[in-house]
Amino acid sequence: MPKVISVGNKKGGVGKTTTAVQLAQAIGKQGKTVLLDADEALQCAVKWRSGDYASWNFDAVRYSAATEADTQGADFLVLDTRGGETGDNLLELSQQSDLLIIPTKPDGLSTDGLLETLHDLIDAGVKNYRVLIVANEGTRGEELREALAEQGIPVLNTIIRKSVAVGDAVVGRMPLEGFNQYSKRVALDYSAAAREVLNSVR
């Protein structure tokens, strides 16, 4: 059975699709990986992956249209959930996943959304999730990581730096590692995060 890694958050605009795509790209170097795009309205992950860059390491399909043939032989499934998940949806998602990744930006609004997202998981005693801090500037990410760890919230050690090159790579429909020197640095961050993710599901 493939390992299922889901990426979700109640709040939108926290780097969910970027995280799903780049984790799939990094994890795809370790085994056959399929990204399932459950955001029926936007399908951003499928559109991003549709570029003809030669070294994409995963396949991407719409979740609602995925067939057994699409996922056959996969070692890993990465699920990019739709924006604005409810608490019940995230609980169900955690139960159906080997690991749930919750990306968040280290700013006030995102942190408020993170606390709301985590509330239902904590109340239900869910343990198979990790917070990933993305789009970091300065020391805010480290401060948030330490604060979460002090509260016993599982958080990945890796922090993803902020770069405008991410948006440019999306437009170019290329993975971050293949776009430019600035996006490559972000890709290295995601590769480190992917190693942590793999250590948690193996």
- The predicted-structure confidence for 77-125, as pLDDT tens digits, reads as follows 999 988 766 667 888 989 999 999 999 999 876 677 787 778 889 999 9
Query: Comparing C-alpha atoms, which of 150, 160, 147, 83 is closest to residue 117?
Result: 83
User: Which residues have a Cβ under 8 Å from the Cβ of 101 and sit 6 or more positions away?
Assistant: 5, 6, 7, 8, 19, 23, 129, 130, 132, 156, 197
- The predicted-structure confidence for 142-189, as pLDDT tens digits, reads as follows 999 998 999 899 999 999 999 999 999 999 999 999 889 999 999 999
Give the pTM.
0.93
Tokens of 92: 């169900």
Query: Comparing C-alpha atoms, which of 12, 7, 6, 4 is closest to residue 116?
Result: 12
Residue 38, Ramachandran bin (φ over 0: left; ψ between -120 and 50: alpha; else beta): alpha
Report how far residue 88's alpha carbon sits from residue 36's, in angstroms, rounded to the nearest whole number: 20
CATH code for the domain defined by 3-201: 3.40.50.300
